[in-house]
Amino acid sequence: MNRILSLLFVVLSPLLLRAQGKVVVNDEITAVIASGKVTVAVVSDDRALGDLVQFALSLHGAIVLQANSPRRVVVSRQGVSASVACDAAPFAFQQEVRGRDEEDLALQVADAIVVGLGRPLRLRPLYAGTKVAFTSRASGFDEICKTTLARARTLILTSYRNTSISPRWSADGTRINFISSLDGFPGLYTTNGIGAPRALLTGVRGAIGAASSGPDGRLIFVSSNKGTMDVYVADANAKGARRLIAAAGSQVVNADPAWSPDGSRIALTSGPTGRPGIYLASAAGGTPSRVPTGYSYATEPRWSPVENKLVFTFQSGRLGLAVADLSAGTVQEVPAASAFDLSHASWCADGRHVVATQASRSSSWLAVVDTVSGKVSRLSPPQLGSCSQPDCWTRKP
The length of the chain in residues reads: 397
H/E/C letters for each residue in 265-310? Answer: EEEEEEECCCCCEEEEEECCEEEEEECCCCCCCEEEEEECCCCCEE
In this structure, are 233 and 374 located in the same domain? Answer: yes
Please identify, among 88, 121, 154, the residue that sits at the C-terminal boundary of a domain.
121
Confidence of residue 317 (pLDDT cuts 50, 70, 90): confident
Query: Domain of 110?
Result: 14-121
Q: State mean pLDDT over 194-219.
A: 88
**Alpha-carbon separation of residue 152 from 54, 114, 323 (angstroms):** 12, 19, 30
In this structure, are 203 and 339 located in the same domain? Answer: yes
Long-range pairs of 309-312 with CB within 8 A, sequence gap ≥ 24: 309/351, 310/267, 310/278, 311/345, 311/346, 311/347, 311/354, 311/371, 312/278, 312/345
- 24 inside domain: yes
In this structure, are 177 and 213 located in the same domain? Answer: yes
In this structure, are 237 and 283 located in the same domain? Answer: yes
Q: State mean pLDDT over 229-256.
A: 89
Q: State mean pLDDT over 43-71.
A: 97
Instruction: Please report, to the nearest 10 degrees, the dihedral formed by the alpha carbons of residues 240, 210, 278, 174 taken in order.
Output: 90
- What is the domain-level CATH number for residue 350? 2.120.10.30
- 8 inside domain: no
Q: State mean pLDDT over 183-199.
A: 87
Q: State mean pLDDT over 43-72.
A: 97
Number of domains, the chain: 2
In this structure, are 209 and 179 located in the same domain? Answer: yes
In this structure, are 112 and 135 located in the same domain? Answer: no
Contact 62, 36 (CB under 8 A): yes
In this structure, are 275 and 140 located in the same domain? Answer: yes
- 345 inside domain: yes
- 6 inside domain: no
The Cα 148–Cα 260 span in angstroms is 23
Please identify, among 72, 96, 121, the residue that sits at the C-terminal boundary of a domain.
121
Q: Please tell me the predicted confidence (pLDDT) of residue 35.
A: 94
In this structure, are 108 and 224 located in the same domain? Answer: no
- 46 inside domain: yes
In this structure, are 116 and 189 located in the same domain? Answer: no
Q: What angle do CA 196, 155, 300 make, to 5 degrees?
A: 90
Please identify, among 121, 153, 174, the residue that sits at the C-terminal boundary of a domain.
121
Give tens-digit pLDDT for 99-156: 999 999 999 999 999 999 999 999 999 999 999 999 999 999 999 999 999 998 899 9
In this structure, are 146 and 237 located in the same domain? Answer: yes
User: Mean pLDDT over all residues of the chain?
Assistant: 90
